[in-house]
């Protein structure tokens, strides 16, 4: 979960993400499992970057938008847009993630792991991310750029094929893509279409239940 650590466009852990856990409503989680089963038969796997997002995290994104640009963050995540243009097309001031049925996802080869190559070198997102083990989708995750749009022009045949595979696998299980971001999917019909949750994401105990203690 990218927002539980500092490897995201804010450059720091985001409030509400006290553990790197994917939290979803049950129907969305079951559909995601079915999508994973589809891919496993192809020697592939899903990789999830974000799931439920507390509203306190969304508020932190809005606060971040009011801060001066960080040069490395801009270069990596929004090289061609000013911060003012990120809302609401790429970052929502009231996010569907907070309803528990939306997630950010890609595809990776089964049993692969991320690379440590140039982990701290800021690469422009429109060139992809060599440290990530995902299939080549044309951009990296959270690339706030028209190239991340699902119907963008200029992709290679392989990049388009990879996006189409993700789209088809997710659609078969009831997920709808958000056209501005190839990685963004919402399970429909949403069980809680009008509810925006704000509980924090906590570490799991050995029996699988959320902990109420400090994550440290």
pLDDT digits (tens, 9 = 90+) for 3-25: 999 999 999 999 999 999 999 99
- The answer to the question of residue 207 being in a domain is no
- The answer to the question of residue 49 being in a domain is yes
- The answer to the question of residue 198 being in a domain is no
- The answer to the question of residue 91 being in a domain is yes
CATH number at residue 117: 3.30.1380.10
Q: Measured between alpha carbons, how far is 155 from 142 in angstroms, rounded to an integer?
A: 17
- The answer to the question of residue 106 being in a domain is yes
- The answer to the question of residue 176 being in a domain is yes
- The answer to the question of residue 196 being in a domain is no
Neighbouring residues of 157: CB distance < 8 A, sequence distance ≥ 6: none
pLDDT digits (tens, 9 = 90+) for 101-122: 999 999 999 988 776 554 555 6
216 is annotated as an active-site residue: no
Share of the chain above pLDDT 70, in %: 92
Whether the ω angle into residue 88 lies within 30 degrees of 0, i.e. cis, is yes
- The answer to the question of residue 212 being in a domain is no
Please tell me which residue in 21, 67, 168, 181 is annotated as part of the active site. Answer: 181
Tell me if the pTM is above 0.95. Answer: no
- Note the pLDDT of residue 205: 75
**How many distinct structural domains can be found in the chain?**
1
Whether the ω angle into residue 189 lies within 30 degrees of 0, i.e. cis, is yes
Determine the structural domain holding residue 8 and report its residue range. 2-187
């Amino acid at each position: 979960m990218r927002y539980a650590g500092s490897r995201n466009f804010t450059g720091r852990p985001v409030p509400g993400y006290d553990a790197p856990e994917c939290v979803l409503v049950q129907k969305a989680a079951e559909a995601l499992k079915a999508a994973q089963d589809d891919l496993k038969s192809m020697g592939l796997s899903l990789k999830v970057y974000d799931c439920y997002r507390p509203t306190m995290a969304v508020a932190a994104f809005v606060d971040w938008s009011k801060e001066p640009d960080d040069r490395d963050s801009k270069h990596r995540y929004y090289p061609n847009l000013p911060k003012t243009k990120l809302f609401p097309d790429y970052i929502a001031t009231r996010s569907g993630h907070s309803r528990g049925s939306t997630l950010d996802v890609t595809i990776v080869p089964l049993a692969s792991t991320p690379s440590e190559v140039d982990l701290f070198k800021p690469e422009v997102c429109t060139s992809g991310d060599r440290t990530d083990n995902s299939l080549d989708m044309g951009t990296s995750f959270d690339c706030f750029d028209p190239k991340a749009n699902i119907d963008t022009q200029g992709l290679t045949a392989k990049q388009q094929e990879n996006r189409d595979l993700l789209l088809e696998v997710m659609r078969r299980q009831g997920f709808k893509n958000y056209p501005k971001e190839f990685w963004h999917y919402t399970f429909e019909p949403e069980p809680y279409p009008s509810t925006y949750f704000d509980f924090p994401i906590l570490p799991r105990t050995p029996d699988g239940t959320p902990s109420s203690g400090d994550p440290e």
